[in-house]
Amino acid sequence: MEKYIIENGIKFELKGEQYYPVFSETNSTEHHIGKYGLLHRGYIKQHKRGTYTTLLTEGKLNAHLHEIDAQANEMIEAIVANLARERGINEELKASDALKWVAEMNNIKSSAEEIVLREVIYQ
């Protein structure tokens, strides 16, 4: 029996008495995956197995997770900026009452993260 075979464009390797698909991401680039990309990976791996397997076998998982992570970070930055402006949280407050500024910014960041988790990560 041959060590490697290619069938339907998929490379298989002989291990013992069975052939197993060889997953290689040589065509894809390796991106750094941040917090939100990792959260999304866990979600699709557990709840959307077909999507996860398809992205993995096509070598597109890393790029997909990088895109989700970048989208989530951009969305959080935009939401935090908008909420801070709407609530009047600015540099003047930071200079006059730093503790209140930190508390307000943490509250805003938590709210923005909840929105992003619901609308981007767990979709």
pLDDT digits (tens, 9 = 90+) for 38-71: 999 999 999 999 999 999 888 899 999 999 999 9
* Domains of the chain: total: 2
Judge contact between 19 and 12, C-beta under 8 A: yes
Q: Can you give the residue range of the structural domain that contains 5? A: 1-30
Least confident of 22-31, 60-69, 84-93: 22-31
State the CB neighbour count (10 A cutoff) for residue 82.
Answer: 12
Question: Is residue 58 domain-shared with residue 6, that is, in the same domain?
Answer: no
Question: Is residue 12 domain-shared with residue 41, that is, in the same domain?
Answer: no
Question: Is residue 51 domain-shared with residue 21, that is, in the same domain?
Answer: no
Question: Is residue 104 domain-shared with residue 50, that is, in the same domain?
Answer: yes
Question: Is residue 52 domain-shared with residue 78, that is, in the same domain?
Answer: yes
Mean per-residue pLDDT of the chain? 91
Higher pLDDT: 23 or 42? It is 42
Distance CA 113, CA 82 (A): 14
pLDDT of residue 27: 52
